[in-house]
Amino acid sequence: MRRVRRIRKQRRRKPLSRRWERKRQMHFLRKVQGVLRHIFSYVPAIVIRVSRIAVICLLAFILVWNLGQRVSMIGDSMSPALKNGDIVLVNRVVYNARRPKRGDVIVFRPKGNENSHYYIKRVVGLPGETVEIIENGIYINGGKLEETYQTTKLDRVGRASEKIKLDEDEYFVLGDDRENSEDSRDADVGNVKREYIYGKAWFVLSPRQDFGFIRSR
């Protein structure tokens, strides 16, 4: 019998140009992978940094919105504590946690009138109390109020010539310069409801000579 030789099929070699092209592509892919790894290695740090900046911006916005609202003092009704033209910072959140206290300097719109400028006065009478002015003295529930801040005389009594009973959401306010102040003694202002109070005046921003905290007591 004749021996049949098995002829192995020879694999055709790829042309040199194709092999070279494939090697070049693989080399390029490795480079891309390396660059991507390098970039992604910074992603956690970038995310952390961006998150910190976002948090700082948010906190700054909250602080400015709640503690840094500015109101201008119009007139000298709060002299000497505040003077005409003083730029005052208002704390808008303090009264969410507590009620206004006697002696606090508050910012409000009289009768809640949105077209009126902000008034800045000092709290004298609290909700539920009776207020009366007798012979240059302020009487709260029949007892004379001793004030520790500087004021002028109470020659004008207005509505407070008779006892004024405050509702559970009302405050009686006066300016420190009692001779030149439009306040709760006047019918146009009257008792100040809690909902009309914008916030507490706590800091004088300018001018420089008046820069500092506002005295509440």
Q: What is the CA radius of gyration of the chain?
A: 38
Tell me, yes or no, if 9 is annotated catalytic: no
Q: Which of 9, 17, 77, 153 is catalytic?
A: 77
Query: Residue 19: enclosing H or E segment and its boundaries?
Result: helix 16-40
Q: Which of 121, 181, 184, 200 is catalytic?
A: 121
Tell me, yes or no, if 77 is annotated catalytic: yes
Beta strand ranges found along 11-129 (DSSP E): 69-72, 87-91, 105-108, 119-125
The full DSSP string for 42-75 is THHHHHHHHHHHHHHHHHHHHHHHHH-EEEE--S
Q: How many CB atoms lie within 10 A of CB 159?
A: 17
Catalytic residues: 77, 121
